[in-house]
Structure 1
Amino acid sequence: MFFPIGDDQVHQGHVPFFSYGLIALNVLIYWYQHSLGGPEGAAFIYAYGCIPAEIESGQDYYTLFTSVFLHGSWMHLLGNMLYMWIFADNIEASIGNLPFAVFYLLGGLVAGLCHIYFNTGSAIPAVGASGALSAVMGAYIVMFPRSNIRGYLIVFRLSVPAFLFLGFWFFQQSQAGYASLGDTSGGIAWWAHIGGFVFGVLGGFLFRIWYGTPGLVGAARKKRDWE
């Protein structure tokens, strides 16, 4: 399994305040959620997680946004924040701070709606930044297809082009999504990932037209890998 730790960075561009701020915000919210304890923590998830059955009945539309900032476990949080660290800053540096924030939230919204469409009637709350991050990764594969994604394959360090890493990632999500059709037992929101990624790809093409693609430099010069 390939474990990513870094990428090539945009040379110049906007300072990615929102990307790094979102990491801090998600960590703080999870810390608060975890501090509530068992029953209260579960109630917090049910109050602010996205429950398809409730959205379908016209209730709690706000959870389409609040659910993007909740996570089910430390591993869930750390995995998403690692991907935020690697992919989000290049997009924000390229398109600007406010456009990135809007794009991120819209990506989470589209991902949530896609999850609801394929999980009608479910009473299980969906949480996590994965859908919004899938949109970021969809934009990344269009805007920076040849950016080097560095990481470890077991103990071997190597780099792969973004289009290979993200293309394989999307293939995995698609396979899992189709396999999950008809399964109402909950688990990973595969279709949120798929919907978010497709939205991000479309956004990526628009961003290339509107903003172009800034040059890249090695991450060693602009951002330290996680080692």
Structure 2
Amino acid sequence: MFPIRDHNPSGRVPFVTFALIAANVGIFCLYWLAIGSEVALARFFLAWGLVPARISYGEGFETFVTSMFLHGGWMHLAGNMLFLWVFGDNMEEEMGHLGFLAFYLASGVAAAGAQYLAEPSSIVPMVGASGAIAGVMGGYLLMFPKARVDVFFFFVIFFRVIPIPAFLVLGVWFGMQLFSGWATPADQGGVAYWAHAGGFLAGLALAVPVWLRRGGPRFWGKTHGVPPHPEARYAMVSTRVPRVRWGGIRGPWDRQ
């Protein structure tokens, strides 16, 4: 289940969102293509990813920031950038360019702090922009709870794009992070669920001043809980690819 777009894109160019995507992609390409071995890559992540045990020892505090610009693979990077692309532009417009940048970085630091508090003795490095982007999602939930988000569902051979209200998409996602965090053993490496949950809550809290300046509940009444922009119209377009009917191609084993 992946959100692929919202129905009220920003009316302004989201320069910071574009810059963050470019920075994440650029940094990833630099080290992923330059480092030739898995051992060297592991050392790189230990040095620049957030390792809770290092923080407990009193060092590596810069990794609260550096870790959010590193990713463990192409799919990890692509998934994070997709979420940032979908939810970042409207939040940037409401907060302003510099305000959104500060909000993004603060959410990422808070997410890393949540993961550290959950596993302060872990030696597994945490990398990824997921915590910061979770903060963007938390802020989006507060500002635009009724925005429609197109979600791509894929299950075996079934796939479909369905518009779903943001409060349902983001609420289910947050619930999954909490459940997975409680269900996953603390010493098992993998997804940093507590960073996701912590970043989401931090983003929601950091967006409260902006929401109140816009009028709080009156802002929801004015905008009906969606970004204040005309709704984009998306339509399925037919292609010129010909259809192939079952049984249309015969082989030597078929009877004439």
Q: TM-score, normalised by structure 1?
A: 0.90
Superposition RMSD on alpha carbons, in Å? 1.6
Residue of 12, 22, 35 corresponding to 1:24: 22
For structure 2, which runs of at least 5 residues remain unmatched after alignment? 220-226, 235-256
Are 2:228 and 1:215 aligned? Answer: yes
4+ residue runs of structure 1 moved beyond 6 angstroms?
Answer: none
What aligned pairs does 1:123-142 form with structure 2 within 5 A after superposition? 123-142=123-142
Identity %: 41
Q: Secondary structure at the match of 1:9?
A: coil
The equivalences for 1:115-154 within 5 A come to 115-154=115-154
Distance in 1 (CA, whole Å) between partners of 2:174 and 2:60 is 30
Q: How many residue pairs were aligned?
A: 218
Distance in 1 (CA, whole Å) between partners of 2:214 and 2:55 is: 35
How many Å apart are 1:120 and its aligned residue?
1.5
The 10-residue stretch of structure 1 (86-95 or 201-210) with the greater mean CA deviation from structure 2: 201-210
Q: What are the equivalent positions in structure 2 for 1:155-170 lying under 5 Å apart?
A: 155-170=159-174
Q: Secondary structure at the match of 1:152?
A: strand
Q: Which deviates further from its counterpart, 118-127 or 203-212?
A: 203-212
Partners of 1:109 and 1:143 in 2: how far apart? 21
Residues 1:195 and 2:198 are matched in the alignment: yes
The alignment partner of 1:59 has SS state of: coil
- Residue aligning to 2:70: 70
Q: What SS class does the counterpart of residue 121 from structure 1 fall into?
A: coil
Q: How far does residue 204 in structure 1 lie from its aligned partner after superposition?
A: 2.4
**CA distance in 2: counterparts of 1:56 and 1:163, whole angstroms:** 36
Q: Structure 1 residue 140: deviation in Å?
A: 0.3
Structure 2 residue aligned with 1:225: none
Q: What residue identity is the alignment partner of 2:228?
A: G
Distance 1:42 1:125 in 2: 9
In 2: Cα distance, 1:8 partner to 1:204 partner: 21
Task: Work out the CA distance in 2 between the residues paired with 1:11 and 1:45.
Answer: 35
Distance 1:66 1:11, change over 3 A: closer
Amino acid at match of 1:118: A
Note the alpha carbon deviations across 1:13-67, whole angstroms, 9 max, x for none.
x531111111111111111121112233222211110000111111010000000
Specify which structure has the bigger relative contact order, considering alpha-carbon pairs within 8 angstroms and separated by 6 or more residues.
1
Do the aligned partners of 1:94 and 1:211 also contact (CA within 8 Å) in 2?
Answer: no
In structure 2, C-alpha distance between the alignment counterparts of 1:156 and 1:33, rounded to whole Å: 36
Secondary structure (helix, strand or coil) at the match of 2:151 reads strand
TM-score by length of 2: 0.81
| TM-aligned CA distance change 1:196 to 1:22, over 3 Å | same
Work out the CA distance in 2 between the residues paired with 1:52 and 1:3.
30
Superposed displacement of residue 211, structure 1: 4.3
Alignment partners' CA distance in 1, 2:144 and 2:101? 19
Q: CA deviation at 1:109?
A: 0.5
Contact 1:52 1:125 in 2 (8 A): yes
Query: Which consecutive residues of structure 1, in runs of 5 or more, have no partner in the other structure?
Result: 222-227
Task: Report the equivalent of 1:43.
Answer: 43
Aligned-residue offset at 1:123: 0.9
In 2, the alpha carbon distance for the partners of 1:219 and 1:56 equals: 48
